[in-house]
Structures are given as C-alpha cells and as structure tokens.
Amino acid sequence: MAARRYTGGLVDVAAGLIARDIFVRDDIYAEELERVFARAWLFVGHESQIPEAGDFILGRMAEESVIVNRDRHGKVHVFLNNCRHRGMRVCRYDHGNAQRFACPYHAWVYSDEGRLIAVPKLESAYHNQLDRDRFGLIEARVASYHGFLFACWDPETADFEATLGDLRFYFDDYCELPDGSHGDWQAFGGIFKWRMPCNWKFAAENFAGDYYHNPSHASVDAVQLSPSGVKGRHTYDTVTRAREALKLNICVAPEGHTARGELFQDDYDYLPTYQEMAVVEDYFRDCYRQRQDRLGEKARWFGHGGTIFPNVSYSNGVQSMGTWHPVGPHETETWRIFLAPKAAPDEVKDVLRHYVIRYQGPSGLTEQDDMENWGYAHEGARGVIARRQPFHYGMGLGHERTGWPVPWLGGEILATEDVSEQNQRAFYARWAAEMDRPPRRGPA
Ligand code: FES
Ligand SMILES: [Fe+2]
C-alpha cells in the first residue's frame, strides 16, 4: 500500500523516523489546527474552578478563547468566547460569576446558556429582522470525567469515555485521591500560564513517556526538591529507593494516549517522610493504608503521569494538568493547574503548594530544564541543514510487549520496562492518522 502523506511518510513510525518538518512548517501547522485540534477532546478545566451557579473561567482550545461556565441551573457549558456580530471577546475576565455576557463592542448580550438575549436597536435599526435564535454563542460538547472537564467541537467524534480507550485505568488512577477514593480535588492558585519558544508537540511527547531524558534533571535531583524528605524531585522517590519496582511505559493504541508509572511487588510498604511534619506525614500514611485496603492488588500501581492525546499531560503526585496550547508552529502557551485534596489539612495543602512552586510551572526547576531542552530542540528543527535529517524515534522498536505483566493493567496496551520510545511512536502514529484524515466541513 502506498504511504500516505504523514503515516509512513513524514511520520515513519515503523522505521522510527519523523521529519523535522512537522514541528516547524506553517502549512502543516494550519492543517493540524483543523485535523487534530478541531476534532479532538481538549482539556478545558476542573469543576472545582467553577463550583457555584454562574461561575465561569476563561479556557482555551488550541488558539481560541472559550468560556467555561456553570449556568444558573448548574449545567456546565463551553462556549467560544467570540461574538457572533464581529468576533469581539464577549468576556474579558479570567474568572468571575455572571448570568449574562455582554459584548463590549456593540453590546449584544448572551445568556449563561449561550442564547442571544438582547441586541441594541433591534427594532429601530434591525427592523426586527434579526433572528436571534440563529446567533447564540457557538457551543462545544462537554464531558466531565471525575470533575475534569473536556470539550470537543466535532459532533462526529466519539464520546469522551470511548476516546479514552484503555487509558481509563491510568487516568482513573490519576483522578483518585491519595486514599484511592474518588473524592473532591480542589484546583488552587489560579491557572499558571506562560509561553515557550517551541512547538507544542515537544512538550506533549516528552510527558508521554520520555524517561530517557532523566540526565537533564541531574541538578534538580541533587537537591531536596520533593516533599518526601529525600533528595529527588518526585513524591514517589522514597518508595522507588526503598523497594523493587518495575518502571513501565504504557501506551494505548490506536488512541495515542500514554501513561508512565511503576508496578511494585506484592509485599511493599510505603512510609514517606514529609519533612518531619507529623500532621502531613500522618495524613499521607493514613491515605496510603486506605488506598491499599480500597484497591487491593491494584494498589501496586503507582502512576507517574502521561499525555492524553493531543495536548494535555497529567502529572501524579504534584497533581497537575498541563495543557500545551499551540500559538503558531514556533510557540506554545502552557496552562497548568494544580490540585490538592479538598478535605486535606491546611498543612498538607501548604506542603503541596510549596512543592509545585519548586517543581513545575514557570518557577519550577524541573519545568525550566524541560523548557530549555524543548526550545533548543525546536531551534534544531528549523535549520535548513538540520531539517534535511529526520529525528530518531527508534528506541525499543520491535521490542514492545502486550499485556505485560498483570492483566488488570489494561487491554490493548503496550508495556515496556524502563526506557523506550514506544509511547512517542504511539502518540505520533495517532497524530499522523488524524492528519491523513480529511476534515469534515461544518455548517457555514
Ligand atoms: S462585536 Fe459583539 S456586539 Fe458587535
Ligand atoms: Fe523533564
């Protein structure tokens, strides 16, 4: 069969080679907005950011601003933040509480359910000939998964849960509180936003499964960054050092979602120290025991994080959702939220808050390492000479295994111990498949 443009062409996953063009070319970027972002489920926020009727935050889907709100009846909506008259933002506040959105330009007014409810001079200037029912805010489909909100523009895309596929076990694990229950998380500290001089895919693929880049965090690992009381940057470093574990990369094909984590032996015990703060240590030890009781054998899985195709990466422990919004081929705007268990003592929340400031976000030492790598790698994809050669994604090619090592880890997954680039290959295989699928044109 002849190679399509992307699958087997620019993205030759079977050979482990990917053209640098896909990171830097304007025409490919324009196609990506249509074929990847306009049809996928995209992460837009967490329900704890809009707890009350009328609450809203501004979100973002690819390049476009959206309003994520809870209407007066409690229903969550995602609207394009874009007036149907001339496209002005109908909402310019990052968050607030409102029962209507009045456009600042010519004052068309929309309800919290998106209907166009008032138009100045409707009678005298429009002669009552404007059909307001046709000009409500453009609304996306919304899915709330354990309080995590996703939205999608394409009516033909399958439901969110169906598109999660066998990532469900791993994302469920992420959504669980430290005690293994599905209680309330609370997003805190607003949304961290910053721009990076690189294509969004560098970040998405790194979080998808790049354990291989650990050496670039050597300086961070040399200091006590983690709240676990030992040197290292992760909450799980104490466990890793104390016990034998299989470090696994998990990818879910064909969806292209990925997970990373560790599978511990049956007889492990977990006694973290949280900087000698008794209340914090007691909290996590108690949570740990509850989690073991609640989950049984499945408590052996300790997730580290992963990427949900296309552009949101979840990080366990630090408990963040990082979304890589494209801003042209050469720039990414990162939006990251951090969450803490709502019912945890204030001391626990304080420890977690300080940890995320040290670890992730623009002030985070680990994220700074990553951004430096991605920025230079992007520059390295732009050069005329450099671009003649593809990037290499061949690590572990042909050595992927299915179903390993315990059946409850998922269905159609590949699991590889330690380092491999199978997760990145799965991510780009899905990306290429979407890029080869012509877009459906929506109603004019
Ligand atoms: S652009 Fe919104 S009322 Fe004119
Ligand atoms: Fe990193």
* pLDDT given at position 250: 80
| Å from CA of 194 to ligand 2 middle | 17
Q: Could you write out the DSSP letters of every residue in 214-229? A: GGGGHHHHTSB-STTS
Indicate whether 115 pLDDT > 90: yes
298 Cβ partners below 8 Å, 6+ apart? 408
CA of 331 to the centre of ligand 1 (A): 29
Residue 412 has pLDDT above 60, yes or no: yes
End-to-end CA distance of the chain: 36
CB 391 within 8 A of CB 239: no
DSSP, res 231: S
What is the identity of the amino acid at 25?
R
Nearest CA to ligand 1 atom 1: 86
Helix (H, G, I), strand (E, B) or coil at 333: strand
Please list, in sequence order, all residues whose beta carbon lies within 8 angstroms of the beta carbon of residue 371, skipping any fewer than 6 positions away: 196, 198
Residue 444 has pLDDT above 50, yes or no: no
pLDDT of residue 414: 77
Question: pLDDT tens across 76-111, in order?
Answer: 999 999 999 999 999 999 999 999 999 999 999 999
Please give the Cα distance from 144 to 174 (Å, whole number): 15
Q: Which residues lie closer than 8 Å to 177 by C-beta, 6 or more apart?
A: 183, 184, 185, 287, 341
Give the Cα separation of 6 and 434 in Å (integer).
9
Say what the pTM is: 0.95
Instruction: Check pLDDT > 80 for residue 440.
Output: no
Q: Which tokens sit at 442?
A: 């929506």
- State whether the beta carbon of 105 lies less than 6 angstroms from ligand 1: yes
Spatial separation of the C-alpha atoms in residues 300 and 291, rounded to whole Å: 10
Q: Is the dihedral of CA 242, 245, 249, 254 positive or negative?
A: negative
Ligand 1 centroid–CA 97 distance in Å is 21
Distance of CA 95 from the midpoint of ligand 1 (Å): 21
Express each pLDDT in 12-30 by its tens digit.
999 999 999 999 999 999 9
SS3 190: strand
- Do the beta carbons of residue 306 and residue 427 sit within 8 Å? no
pLDDT in tens, 163-203: 999 899 999 999 999 999 999 999 999 999 999 999 999 99
Residue 376, ligand 1, Cβ within 6 A? no
